[in-house]
Chains A and B, each alone.
Chain A
Amino acid sequence: MQQQEAVLDRDAAVAELTNLMAKFTAYIGKRLPTDVQHKLGELREKEVNFLAKEVYESMRQNQDAADKLDRPSCQDTGVIQYFVTAGAKFPLLGELEDILLGATQGATKDGPLRHNAVETFVEKNTGTNTGSKIPWLDWEIVPQDDSVIIDVYMAGGGCTLPGASKVLMPGQGYEGVAEFVFDVVTSRGVNACPPLLVGVGVSTSAETAARLSKKAILRPVTSRHSNDNAALMEELLADGLNELGLGPQGLTGNASVMGVNIESSARHPSTIGVAVSTGCWAHRRGRIKINADMTWEVISHRGFKL
């Protein structure tokens, strides 16, 4: 009897968490995180170029309308990705994958989200935003913890396209890293809806750098790397890219980027893995913390209600 009740409780908790994550996933497609909102407000106020001001004004009107009409602010609601930082003792650790699959299906209906999962090789849109390995889950386990932090991310095709990764020789140094970042942003950044949040991974190989570059844009816009040299490089890259003056939509203006975030790991002495991921101005990510007792707290946005 007790066992049955435990199963019922567990099922209820799974349903509750699926509903919460579906609502949160749909929500972040409609309202930008607080740090991004602030940054865009700041850039809009500083802008002097006529066309750039026109575009910033459209952006402002759009976010107001999305909020009021409760609709996805950008039509491209991306392929849904969840970055899970899970305590090893989180009670529903084993159920999380199914929960997030259900959340994606729920958000697709409730949002509504655009149908964006095309099954590769079959080349058919599944119509549910789910498919092989989609929603994409990235896991990090925290050994002694019993809560979970989930970053939801939806990136449109436009700001996903510039993504690039490469392995440099040490002789190319951090100078090579800077050149790679500039090449990516000048060649493909214009179509990615600037002002961008640029994530840079500096690591050992192509895929480790790529993963870190994506983790970098999950960090707040104004955050800084804990290493002084890396933090200096973030600042130099952001200032330098802004000097290019891409402006919103590449129409020229004061800024090219909202910021540059670097994430790094140790590397092989013979290699420097470098990667760039770009987030568009409509940088739709959300961070939520769920405790072992299923209470929760939204970290990225103010005002989320179930």
Chain B
Amino acid sequence: MKKTLTTPIKDEDLESLNVGDVVYLTGTLVTCRDVAHRRLIELGRELPVNLEGGAIFHAGPIVRQKEDGEYEMVSIGPTTSMRMEKFEKEFIRRTGVKLIVGKGGMGPETQEGCAENKAVHAIFPGGCAVLAATKVEKIEAAEWTDLGMPETLWVNRVKEFGPLIISIDTKGNNLIEENKKVFNDKKKPILERINQQVRFIK
């Protein structure tokens, strides 16, 4: 059975989620990436969108403006979440955002922010941007358009947007960081074996 989160998301919606769970999102999903994070945290500007109980998407989409002036979502996949690591803990605290969707993992600061403020980070499969666009019903607003197409805050109404794979839960677990440890532990013996066979300089 599909588990679906609906905005506004409450703390209790997230408490039972564990890393590796697959969920979907219905409601509002706002794109928010590098410069928007910088503007709020470093430049002290107020975000033009209320994110209390909301969901953000680390993404820079391709959007087409139709003849009637309406925006159409063409292609919207996740971008590397780790770029926002520097800002995310403070971002979560200041905005009250509950769901952060992106690509790859995030670090210990975000992990802390998620545990302290009851929020989660989830992975949407990278590169699957048309699949994602088909889950966007409407672009309801565009804010900070001066940042250009990728960095604008696109406010999307989405239906069963996913799959979203929980990578940081509210209990301090971090799926990708745990996976990375496994990859690193495996590395040494593999390299030792390879290195015996590539001694081409004799």
Contact = CB atoms under 8 A, between A and B. Distances in A.
Interface of A: 51, 54-55, 58-59, 61-62, 65-66, 69, 71-77, 111-116, 125, 127, 156-158, 161, 170, 173-175, 177-179, 182, 186, 190-191, 193, 229, 232-233, 236-237, 240, 243-246, 248-252, 280-282
B131 A77 contact: no
A205 B134 CA distance: 46
Given A174-B199, A190-B179, 14 more contacts: A58-B163, A75-B74, A114-B75, A158-B80, A161-B80, A175-B198, A182-B191, A193-B103, A240-B191, A244-B187, A245-B186, A249-B103, A250-B176, A251-B179
Interface of B: 20, 22, 59-62, 64, 74-77, 79-82, 103-105, 123, 125-131, 133-134, 148-150, 163, 165, 175-176, 179-180, 182-184, 186-187, 190-191, 193-195, 197-201
Contacts of A182: 187, 190-191
A71 B74 contact: yes
A216 to B, nearest CB: 17
B149 A69 contact: no
B194 A74 contact: no
A179 B193 CA distance: 12
**Majority SS at the chain A contact face:** helix
Nearest to B148: A125
B128 A112 contact: no
Contacts of A232: 197-198
23 contacts: A61-B131, A62-B128, A69-B134, A71-B74, A72-B75, A72-B130, A74-B127, A75-B75, A76-B77, A76-B79, A116-B150, A125-B149, A157-B79, A158-B80, A174-B201, A178-B191, A178-B194, A182-B191, A186-B187, A190-B180, A236-B194, A249-B123, A252-B179
Nearest to A230: B200
B194 A237 contact: yes
A193 B102 CA distance: 12
Nearest to A232: B197
B79 A173 contact: no
Contact of B190 (A66, A114, A177, A244): A244
Contacts of B80: 157-158, 161, 191
A249 B197 contact: no
A113 B163 CA distance: 25
Contacts of B184: 186
Contacts of A177: 198
Interface centre among A113, A191, A236, A240 (most CB of B within 10 A): A191
Interface centre among B61, B77, B125, B201 (most CB of A within 10 A): B125
Contact of B134 (A65, A76, A240, A250): A65
A54 B82 CA distance: 23
B78 to A, nearest CB: 9
Interface centre among B126, B180, B182 (most CB of A within 10 A): B126
A72 B75 CA distance: 7
Contacts of B59: 75
Given A158-B79, A178-B195, A114 B149 contact: yes
Which 3 pairs show the lowest CB-CB distances between chains A and B? A191-B104, A125-B148, A62-B128
B131 A193 contact: no
Given A173-B198, A177-B198, A249-B125, A54 B163 contact: yes
B164 to A, nearest CB: 11
A161 B104 CA distance: 13
Contacts of A229: 198, 200
B201 A170 contact: yes
B103 A66 contact: no
Contacts of B148: 115, 125, 127
A177 B199 CA distance: 11
A69 B73 CA distance: 12
